[in-house]
Amino acid sequence: MAKDKQATALQAAPLTTSRSALLVDGSDRPFRELVRDLVDFSARLQEIREGIARAMGMTPPQYNILMTLSHLGDAVTVGDLAERLRVSVPFVVTETRRLVAMGLLEKRPDAVDRRRVMLVLTPKAWAMLQDIAPLQVSVNDVLFSTLGSRDVDTLARLTRGLLSSCDGALAKARRKPD
């Protein structure tokens, strides 16, 4: 009897999308499963990143800052880093202050605009990133073991597309229903 109620509830559930490309025979069930899988993957990816951060003796936000700065290369402004991480400038200021205290980051005035602060990884930070790289390689090799090079290209393209539509979707989600 409980299975009948569950099946009826699923059949009666309102659609979560109206786009025909996301419906299969008028059902959004495969789409809902995809969204659930994406949410689950995101949560698991976050757990993995938290584990690597702990292995480095830092918090996940501090790890994200170091990784982002290491990939951006040259000195980066606090504002640019905040935008890239999709966090507030005050949050970046607080976290970078802690990284400076740990000897992992330097704050330098911008040569052109002295009001701007540039963030630069220290040699100690680069050494930590070198030390953790074998763990990252091992984790990523397992995590993405089911993907070939074409899959990675496709996943990257699809992910960029999804990310580009997030701001509009977030604005709609934050709006009060009519």
Rounded distance between C-alpha atoms, residue 95 and residue 99, angstroms: 6
Domain ranges across the chain: 27-135, 147-178
Nearest Cα neighbor of 116 from 77, 89, 65, 72 is 77
Angle between helices 89-101 and 78-85 (to 10 degrees): 110
Residue with the bigger pLDDT between 103 and 176: it is 103
The chain-wide mean pLDDT, for the chain, equals 91
Rounded distance between C-alpha atoms, residue 151 and residue 149, angstroms: 5
> 3-class DSSP state for residue 110?
coil
b/e per residue, 69-98, with b = 16+ CB within 10 A? beeeeebbbbebbbebbeeeeeebeebbee
Rounded distance between C-alpha atoms, residue 83 and residue 93, angstroms: 13
Nearest Cα neighbor of 131 from 119, 123, 120 is 123
Residue 5 has pLDDT above 90, yes or no: no
pTM of the model: 0.80
pLDDT band at 3 (very low <50, low <70, confident <90, very high): low
User: Which CATH number does 27-135 carry?
Assistant: 1.10.10.10
Residue 9 has pLDDT above 70, yes or no: no
Q: What is the DSSP letter of 119?
A: E
**Each residue's pLDDT tens digit, 93-120:** 999 999 999 999 999 888 888 888 899 9
Rounded distance between C-alpha atoms, residue 100 and residue 122, angstroms: 9
